[in-house]
Amino acid sequence: MTDPVLAAIRSRRVVRALTQEPVARATLEAILDAGRWAPTAGNRHLQQFVATDDPRTLRVLRMVSPGMIQRPTAAVVICTDRPAAADYGFPPDASGLFVDVGTAAATMMLAAHALGLGAGPVSSFSRAAAGVVLRLPPGWVPELIVCLGHPDPVQPAPMKAGRRLGWQDLTRWVPAE
């Protein structure tokens, strides 16, 4: 297939090495706008985005994020607004809240790729420390960091080598054929 959306999905990769070239504010805003179009449970939008392109904030955020091997020039932290979720009757561990974070992250990373940027998710960070660094309002829980920047032409080897799985490797038909 030659559909441009499918081509973008197939060519997007997690980018682990970024240049120090800043991300244009308009590009960052376009990525944030794409994130708001991600599907959400009941169209409730219980996730909130905290964006930064401030070098000092990014440096401190890296200090509390062992999973952030990139040196991004911008980042979006996807948070769950827990009080708003509770108002809708969601328990704190409701899987739909985490699905919403994932769909927003995937949409933003695909948008970044379409705009010529590299992106990579980070889930290994101190949520309490990130909340302080980002001055989050009470009840906002940082769930995932999307690192953004211009891809370095030289990337580290993929974390897991081996053959690329096809959809057939990941799929079980029911009933079995």
CA pair distance 6, 26, nearest whole angstrom: 25
Burial class (CB in 10 A: 0-12, 13-18, 19+), 82: middle
Q: 14 is written with which tokens?
A: 């997690």
Cβ–Cβ < 8 Å for 129, 66: no
Question: What local confidence, expressed as pLDDT, does residue 161 receive?
Answer: 66
Q: What is the pLDDT of residue 28?
A: 98
Confidence of residue 17 (pLDDT cuts 50, 70, 90): confident
**Measured in Å, how far apart are the chain's first and last C-alpha atoms?**
25
pLDDT at 176: 67
Distance CA 162, CA 50 (A): 36
Give kind and range of the element (H or E) at residue 1: none
- What is the rounded CA–CA span in Å between residue 7 and residue 53? 29
pTM value is: 0.91
Q: What is the pLDDT of residues 109-153, one digit of tens each?
A: 999 999 999 999 999 999 999 999 999 999 999 999 999 999 998
Architecture of domain 4-154: 3-Layer(aba) Sandwich (3.40)
Separation of alpha carbons 143 and 51, rounded Å = 13
Domain ranges for the chain: 4-154
**Counting Cβ atoms within 10 Å, is residue 10 exposed (0-12), middle (13-18) or buried (19+)?**
exposed
